[in-house]
């Protein structure tokens, strides 16, 4: 096959694949700016006649079309829950990751394995006992209850990622700092932490996204406007008799935007962290 044809074929194939990846998302974004009337019209209108921000106004409770889904509360809940649980998971996971990277202790590898295995428990399976226990403890349907669970499900992966990033910082540097007059703690904060910082940040963003996107647990552990997160709130729309497609699309855009920005920020570190931790044992 001539090189030219081959190049064209490769580009054509790539274009198709990228189209499949992008199209559904783009379609949702487009729909978020259209009216329900236009979305429902038959035969389909392909070129939007008028784009509007009404859907966004409506889900945030402005404008005349009031919908019964309190998206701004859900947004606030999602933000509080994700940020808090990320911070806690990072604090706890980083401490653990540092221990795994720098110290030898009995039972180290099996502890690591068990920590990772705890991550495999399906959210829905874990939700059953937690639902019962949290109910008894009175923390069901509270932000605190969800934060606690999200912290725990984020810890294993944070440990795995930060362990990898700390291991990339040579132990020599920590020792050199101690000889230069640092305490162990100073050596960590002044040398090791700054060097692993970008990796730790990406572990944090990964944890944030996990919390931000989680559904299986939150859908059972939250019931009220005070604790429901955005993914759970999205299902509010389907509970109604006629689905407000445009409103759902607008809410989907709200959910995806923070995730989109954060992922762009860390994509490089994330891949490095995943492959490094896994391959270079």
Partner 1 sequence: MSKFSRAIRDHAVPLALIAPSILVILVVVLLPLMFSFYTSFTNYRLIRPDTLWDWIGLRNYQRLLADWDFWVAFGRTILFLTVALNLELLFGLGLALLVNKITWGQRTLRTIMMFPMMFSPILVGFQFKYVFNDTIGLVNNALQSLGLTEFAIPFLVDRWLAFFSISFAEIWMSTSIFAILILAGLFAMPKDPIEAARVDGCSNWQVFRHITLPFLMPFIFIAMTIRSLDVARAYDVVDVMTGGGPAQRTELLWTLIARTAYDDARMGRANAMAYASILLSIFFTWYFFRKLMDARKHLGAF
Partner 2 sequence: MAEVKLTNVVKRYGSVEVVHGIDLEIAHNEFVVLVGPSGCGKSTTLRMIAGLEEISDGEIKIGETVVNNLPPRKRNISMVFQNYALYPHMTVSENLGFSLKIAGKSGAEISAAVANAAEILGLGDLLERTPAELSGGQRQRVAMGRAIVRHPDVFLFDEPLSNLDAKLRTQMRVEIKKLHQKIKTTIVYVTHDQVEAMTLADRIVIMKDGHIVQVGTPLDVFERPVDTFVAAFIGSPPMNLINGHIEADHVVFSDGNRLPVPPDFTGKLADGRQVVFGFRADVLMPKGHTLAESGVVTDLDLKIDFAEPLGSESILLSTLGGKEIQARMHNPRPVNEGEVLTCELHLEKCHIFDASSTKNLRE
Q: Of residues 20-49, which lie at the interface with partner 1 (CB under 8 A)? A: 20-25, 27-28, 31, 39-40, 42-44, 46
Q: What is the torsional sign of CA 102, 105, 110, 116?
A: negative
Which residue number, 47 or 64, has a Cβ lying nearer to partner 1? Answer: 47
Which residues touch 45 (CB under 8 Å, ≥6 apart)?
Answer: 38
Query: Which stretch, 33-41, 158-166, 185-193, 267-275, contacts partner 2 (CB under 8 A)?
Result: 185-193
Question: By rule CB under 8 A, what string of x and - marks binding of each residue 11-40 to partner 2?
Answer: ------------------------------
Q: Which member of 13, 66, 173, 176 binds partner 1 (CB under 8 A)?
A: 13
DSSP states along 109-172: HHHHHHHHHHTTS-HHHHHHHHHHHHHHHT-TTSHHHHHHHHHHHHHHHHHHHHHHHHHHS-HH
Going by C-alpha positions, the residue among 170, 153, 157, 149 that lies closest to residue 220 is 149
SS3 222: coil
Q: Is 99 exposed, middle or buried (0-12, 13-18, 19+ CB in 10 A)?
A: middle
Residue 213 as a binder of partner 1 (CB under 8 A): the answer is yes
181 binds, among partner 2, partner 1, none (CB under 5 to 8 A by kind): partner 2
Q: Which two tokens stand for residue 265?
A: 């920020």
Going by C-alpha positions, the residue among 208, 221, 34, 255 that lies closest to residue 143 is 221
Question: By rule CB under 8 A, what string of x and - marks binding of each residue 120-159 to partner 1?
Answer: xxxxxxxxxxxxxx--------------xx-xxx-xx--x
Residue 201 as a binder of partner 2 (CB under 8 A): the answer is no
Q: How many residues does the chain have?
A: 281
Query: Which stretch, 43-51, 168-176, 243-251, 265-273, contacts partner 2 (CB under 8 A)?
Result: 168-176
128 binds, among partner 2, partner 1, none (CB under 5 to 8 A by kind): partner 1
Q: Which member of 33, 74, 100, 166 binds partner 1 (CB under 8 A)?
A: 100
Q: Which member of 18, 26, 121, 173 binds partner 2 (CB under 8 A)?
A: 173
Query: Which stretch, 63-71, 128-136, 169-177, 246-254, contacts partner 2 (CB under 8 A)?
Result: 169-177
> Least distance to partner 2 from the beta carbon of 2, Å?
45
Which residue number, 184 or 268, has a Cβ lying nearer to partner 2? Answer: 184
**Residue the block writes with tokens 């700016």:** 33
CA distances 94 to 41, 80, 152, 183, 245, Å, are 53, 21, 13, 19, 42
Q: Interface with partner 2 by CB under 8 A: which residues?
A: 170, 172-173, 175-184, 186, 190-191, 194-195
């Amino acid at each position: 096959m001539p090189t030219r044809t081959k190049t064209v074929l490769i580009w054509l194939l790539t274009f198709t694949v990228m189209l499949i990846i992008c199209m559904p998302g783009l379609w949702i974004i487009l729909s978020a700016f259209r009216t329900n009337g236009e979305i429902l019209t038959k035969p389909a209108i392909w070129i939007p006649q008028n784009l509007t921000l009404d859907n966004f106004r409506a889900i945030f409770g402005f404008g005349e079309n009031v919908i019964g889904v309190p998206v701004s509360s859900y947004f606030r809940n999602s933000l509080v829950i994700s940020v808090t649980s990320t911070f806690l998971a990072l604090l706890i996971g980083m401490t653990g990751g540092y221990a795994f990277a720098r110290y030898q202790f009995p039972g180290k590898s099996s502890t690591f394995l068990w920590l990772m295995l705890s991550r495999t428990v399906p959210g829905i399976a874990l939700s059953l006992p937690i639902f019962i226990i949290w109910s008894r403890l009175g923390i069901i349907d509270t932000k605190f209850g969800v934060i606690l669970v999200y912290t725990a499900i984020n810890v294993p992966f944070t440990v795995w990622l930060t362990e990898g990033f700390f291991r990339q910082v040579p132990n020599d540097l920590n020792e050199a700092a101690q000889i230069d007059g640092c305490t162990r703690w100073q050596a960590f904060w002044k040398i090791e932490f700054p060097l692993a910082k970008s990796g730790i940040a990406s572990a944090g963003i990964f944890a944030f996204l996990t919390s931000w996107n989680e559904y299986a647990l939150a859908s059972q552990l939250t019931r009220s406007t005070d604790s429901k997160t955005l993914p759970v709130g999205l299902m509010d729309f389907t509970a109604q008799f006629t689905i407000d497609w445009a409103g759902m699309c607008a809410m989907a855009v709200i959910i995806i935007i923070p995730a989109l920005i954060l992922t762009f920020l860390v994509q490089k570190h994330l891949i490095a962290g995943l492959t490094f931790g896994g391959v270079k044992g």
